[in-house]
Structures are given as structure tokens and as C-alpha cells.
Amino acid sequence: MSTNSKVLALKYRPKLFSDLIGQEVVSDTIYNSIKYDKIPNAFLFTGIRGVGKTTIARLIAKALNCKNNVENLCNENLCESCSSISNSNNIDVLEMDAASKTGVDDVRDLIEFSRYGPTSAKYKIFIIDEVHMLSKQAFNALLKTLEEPPEYLKFIFATTEQKKIPVTILSRCQRFDLSRVRSEELLKYIKKICDLENGNISDEALKLIVKISEGSVRDSLSLLDRALLSNDKEKRLELSDVQKIFGYFDKSHLIKIFEYIFKGDQNKTLEAYKNIYNQGVEPKIFLNDFLEILYYFKNINSLNESTKNFDLNNDEFEAIKEISMNLNSETLILFWQFTINTLGELDIVADQNISVEMFLIRLLHIKSIKMKDYKDHSDIRIKPDEKKLETKLQKKQDPINQIKSIVQEKSLDDIETNKIKTKNISIKSLNDLIDLCNVKKEVKLKYELENNVNLVSFEHGRIEISINEKLEKDFIKILSTKLLEWTNERWMITLSKKIGEKSKKESDGDAKIKLFENAKKTETYKKILQTFSDAELIDIEIKKDE
């Protein structure tokens, strides 16, 4: 087979340690171990598919047996040993696939073969790919030879699932974990290959290839190969073309779906999804991308250009940032859980497309987002009166509103009614606030107020508490929201460095201890102990008239 007819992953397979990308630490360590003759009995390479495990194994075989030594490893003009290893016909370098030869008999044959020294090379080398597939008995048969092999024998193992390898084998190997190749480095590499192949592909299209490959060099080259074959060299291959080839879609469409969900627009949500589905996008790919965008909504403020990993362009990044300002974490986490559950459902339903549509409808009915002054793309803000009118019209026209879940947003009519009900509510102390939480059935808030709040000062519209690491992160936000809802007034809640009072739970505990101590001093308690020496005071009940 000519070099030009090979697939890119084979055509551009590294021939020297310096050709490896993303594994500099590993290649330098191995190079030095061979150079200074500190070669381990067995190497073990772990990592995802396509990051260079088998490639490095063959490079080690070449470096150990090259006539010119590792410092002058053959590249173009190959020596006899390097040539035979590259062509996989060297009698002293045996490459075995453990997936097809898993039994103990195969390993015994290997061990028997190892008793004879190399024929023409310096070392006899056994490369075992997917070594985790070997049976337990096969691993046991390897142990002794692996620990004390002849000087001329070296083992090189490669696996994607190191956890399945017995500890007794791992302890006898020098292990190297190969990492995923960073996106920037992989993009630079496939750009270079694309130029060598005279490919006409845009940078945005190459970035999508890098993203789909997930850090695998072989996958990125295979995808590039497919893209080059799908394109007329005179025409530039753009992002939209590559999306069609690999069944991916523009993230801006998905962001639009999120926008419709947050606005509660069912018709536009389903219409946008159907447009994506009609492009040939599989439901599983859609849901996985949905999870990815959810992640960005949750963490957009902590991301920057270097952490985007080519997933979003600048416009998409800014759109997510703008929409996320009106969202709360609880809703996004709830969406995440529903998406994970739906991914599990896809394997048991006949029509996955219908399942995804029902998933989107469920999200519309569980959302509890208050889109404060939400700004749409036409730069028009919905006024309160228009919003109220829109809500009433929607109630009449949309039958789904008749069965809204209780976790949905309250309508404006409910809020107006609530204002009338809360006019007479008065909160003058922390105890009043705790009692109100009890009435409103805000169990979590009541727990925090009783257990983790150390009060510094309390006055109408303002509460000052000392800093307490035990408090939930969203405590102040939740309490402020509830106080506004209950009293129709904004309350200022501040954290102070001053040492506040003991929490209600601690104060009640101290009061109970003091009560016990006083009770034990009474004549009644002393008389009881005289009669019943082993009596113990368990609890005290105080009557109302006392």
C-alpha cells in the first residue's frame, strides 16, 4: 500500500518521540530511561482511545533495537530493525491483541516463546494491547515472568481500562497515564495536517472536529479524513458543512430553545426542536448538547476564552451570559437531573423523538424562574401591564395552563391577592420570623434561623447577623426573597464581623440546662431521691399557670 493511500491516522503516525503531541512528559521520561539504560521490565500505558498508547509502544520497540541507538533513532532512512518493526514483521517484536487472545494457553505459549533469546535484535519485546481483557488465570501465569524476566525480554502493555488489571500486575509495571490532548494543541496539529493534504477547511470547522474528537488524536485525524473526502477541494468547507457531515448543529439554536423554555413558550420550543431534529440530529446527541449548554448557564461567570474549549463562539457566549443573569441555580440543577433521567429513558422507548418532545414540555411545566425585566433579542422590555394581559390571554387560549404544576410561577393575580393577605404581617423579632416560617411551612429556612443564625441586631427592614460558615450559601438570598413576598417590603440582611448572640437552639439548650439545675435543687427532687436512689431526671414540663 502506498503512503498516499493510507488513512491519515496511519499516514501521519509518529516516527520519533519528538513527533508525539500532548505527551511530552511521558516521552521525555521514556527517552531518558532508554538513553541511560534504566529500562523497566514492563511498561503499562493507560488512557482513552487514540492518544498514543500503541504508537509509544512501537517507538519503544524501535528505540531499544535501533542500530543507531535512541539518540539517532531512524526517521527516513530506516535500519533493518526499524524497518521490520514499522512493517510489523520483526520476529523479535510480537504484538498481541488481548481482546482476541484472552486465555491462559495463549499466555503460556508467550512465556514458552520468551525462553529463547532474540534472533536479530537486542531485545525481544512483547506488546499486548487491551491487556485488561486477559483472564484471571492468564494474568496469574504472567506474574513470575513479569517480575524477573530475562535481560533480553521486555513487556509493553496498553489499556483503556486500568481498573480491570490486577494490582499484582500493576505493581510489576512502570505505569504511564496518557492524558487527553489539549484542544489548542490538537487544533494546531490538524491544521498542519490539513495544509499538508491541501485541505480547504475553515478554522471554525476544524474547531468542531477537535471538539468531537474529545482529545483523541486518532479520532481527530479520522474525522478530518472524512471531512476532506466529503468536500470539493475548490470549495471551502465551512462550519455548517461540517455540522451536516457529523450530525451536529449550531449551538445558537439550542440557546434559543432555552430562551423559549425560560419564557414559557411551548409552541416555539417544540418548533425549534423539530427544526434541529429534521437536520438529522439524533436525540441522544441533542440531550448531551443540552447538558453541555446547561453547564455553561450554571458556570458562565467562571469561564473565559481559554476554558471554552471551542464549544461556543463569542456571540453564543455573550447570549448565555445575558440570559443566565435572570436564572437561579436551583432551576438549572433541576433541569440537569431531568435531562439525565431522559437520557436513561431513551433506551426503553420506541420513538426517541417523542420522548425528547415530552421532556421539553415537562421542563416548561416545572420551571420556577422569575425572569425579572427579561430583555429579548428585539430589545423590547415587557411592561407589567402588558405582561399581565399576556398572562390572561394565555390562560384563555392555552388549555395546558389549566393543569399547571404547583411549582410554576405564581400568576400576577395570585401576587395581587397575596399583597392583601400580607398587609397585616408584622415581624418585630427573630422569634416572630421563626414563627412565620413555621406558619408558611418553610422548613429549611426555619432550620437555618434556629440553628445557624447568630443575631447581632434586629429592627424593622434590617437584620444584622454574624458570619457563620454553617449557613447555606443562598440563605440571605432566599430569606430576602421570602421577606419581600410576605411583607411587600425590601429587607436588608447584612453579615457582620461582630460576635452575635447564641443561636436559638443554643439558647434554648442553655435555658434547659439551667432549668434542670434549678429543679435538682428543689425539696421535691431530693425527697424522690431518698425514696428511689436510682431515679433520674429526664424532662421537665412547665404548666402555663407557672
Q: What is the mean pLDDT of residues 160-173?
A: 90
SS3 93: strand
Is residue 74 one of the residues assigned to a domain?
A: yes
Residues 139 and 211 both lie in one domain: no
Residues 264 and 213 both lie in one domain: no
Q: Which of 372, 370, 373 is nearest to 411 (CA)?
A: 370
Residues 75-99: tens digit of each pLDDT:
878 888 888 888 888 888 888 888 8
pLDDT range class, residue 405, cuts 50, 70, 90? very low
Question: What CATH number did the domain enclosing 313 receive?
Answer: 1.20.272.10
Is residue 501 one of the residues assigned to a domain?
A: no
Is residue 406 one of the residues assigned to a domain?
A: no
Our count of domains for the chain comes to 5
- The single-letter code of the amino acid at 531 is T
The answer to whether 150 touches 119, Cβ cutoff 8 Å, is no
**When comparing pLDDT for 304 and 493, which is higher?**
493
Residues 289 and 234 both lie in one domain: no
Residues 202 and 316 both lie in one domain: no
Q: Which of 114-118, 184-188, 235-239, 306-310 has the highest mean pLDDT?
A: 184-188
pLDDT of 44 > 90? The answer is yes
Q: What is the mean pLDDT of residues 468-476?
A: 78
Is residue 342 one of the residues assigned to a domain?
A: yes
Q: List CB contacts of 156: < 8 A, sequence separation 6 or more.
A: 42, 43, 45, 57, 60, 61, 125, 126, 127, 128
Instruction: Provide the 8-state DSSP code for 158.
Output: E
What pLDDT score does 379 carry? 38
Question: What CATH number did the domain enclosing 451 receive?
Answer: 3.30.300
What pLDDT score does 53 carry? 92
Q: What is the mean pLDDT of residues 229-248?
A: 80
What pLDDT score does 30 carry? 92
Q: What phi, psi does 49 have (nearest 5°)?
A: -65, 145
What pLDDT score does 231 carry? 72
The answer to whether 73 touches 16, Cβ cutoff 8 Å, is yes
Grid cell 436588608 in the structure block, residue: 492
Is residue 387 one of the residues assigned to a domain?
A: no
Residues 482 and 545 both lie in one domain: no
Q: Distance of alpha carbon 516 from its chain centroid, rounded?
A: 53
Q: Which of 146-155, 277-286, 416-425 has the highest mean pLDDT?
A: 146-155
pLDDT range class, residue 373, cuts 50, 70, 90? very low
Per the prediction, the chain carries an average pLDDT of 80
pLDDT of 158 > 90? The answer is yes
Question: What CATH number did the domain enclosing 216 receive?
Answer: 1.10.8.60
Q: How far apart are the first and last CA of the chain?
A: 102
pLDDT range class, residue 304, cuts 50, 70, 90? low
Helix (H) or strand (E) holding 488, with range, is none
**When comparing pLDDT for 216 and 499, which is higher?**
216
Q: List CB contacts of 128: < 8 A, sequence separation 6 or more.
A: 96, 98, 134, 155, 156, 157, 158
Residues 33 and 94 both lie in one domain: yes
What pLDDT score does 506 carry? 79
What pLDDT score does 331 carry? 82
Domain that holds residue 290: 251-381
pLDDT range class, residue 369, cuts 50, 70, 90? very low
Which of 323, 351, 381 is a domain's end point? Answer: 381
Is residue 419 one of the residues assigned to a domain?
A: no
pLDDT of 389 > 60? The answer is no
Q: Return the percent helix, strand and coil in the chain, to nearest 5.
A: 55, 10, 35
Residues 285 and 372 both lie in one domain: yes
Which of 319, 349, 381 is a domain's end point? Answer: 381
Q: What is the mean pLDDT of residues 194-218?
A: 88
What pLDDT score does 5 carry? 60
Instruction: Report the DSSP beta bridge partners of residue 177.
Output: 46
The answer to whether 540 touches 516, Cβ cutoff 8 Å, is yes
The answer to whether 338 touches 362, Cβ cutoff 8 Å, is yes
Is residue 411 one of the residues assigned to a domain?
A: no
Residues 411-441: tens digit of each pLDDT:
444 545 554 455 567 788 888 888 888 888 8
Buried/exposed 36-57: b ≥16 CB within 10 Å, e otherwise: eeebebbbbbbbeebbbbbbbb
**When comparing pLDDT for 387 and 506, which is higher?**
506
Q: What is the mean pLDDT of residues 465-479?
A: 80
SS3 371: coil
- The single-letter code of the amino acid at 334 is L
pLDDT range class, residue 446, cuts 50, 70, 90? confident
Residues 90 and 150 both lie in one domain: yes
- The single-letter code of the amino acid at 74 is C
The per-residue DSSP string of 376-414 comes to: -TT--BPPHHHHHHHHHHHHHH-GGGGG--TTSPPPHHH
The answer to whether 158 touches 45, Cβ cutoff 8 Å, is yes
Helices (H), 230-282: 239-246, 251-263, 266-278
Residues 33 and 134 both lie in one domain: yes
Q: What phi, psi does 43 have (nearest 5°)?
A: -105, 145
pLDDT range class, residue 504, cuts 50, 70, 90? confident
d(CA 421, CA 134): 72
| Residue 109 C-beta-side C-alpha neighbours within 13 Å | 8
Is residue 486 one of the residues assigned to a domain?
A: yes
Which of 135, 150, 177 is a domain's end point? Answer: 177
Residues 67 and 111 both lie in one domain: yes
Question: What CATH number did the domain enclosing 98 receive?
Answer: 3.40.50.300
What pLDDT score does 396 carry? 45
Residues 109 and 26 both lie in one domain: yes
Total residues found in the chain within this entry: 546
pLDDT range class, residue 312, cuts 50, 70, 90? low
Residues 229 and 332 both lie in one domain: no
What pLDDT score does 523 carry? 78
What pLDDT score does 107 carry? 86
Q: Which of 215-224, 289-298, 319-328 has the highest mean pLDDT?
A: 215-224
Q: Distance of alpha carbon 331 from its chain centroid, rounded?
A: 18
Q: Parallel, antiparallel, or unpaired: how do β-strands 455-459 and 462-466 relate?
A: antiparallel
- 365, 368, 373, 375: CA torsion to nearest 10: -50
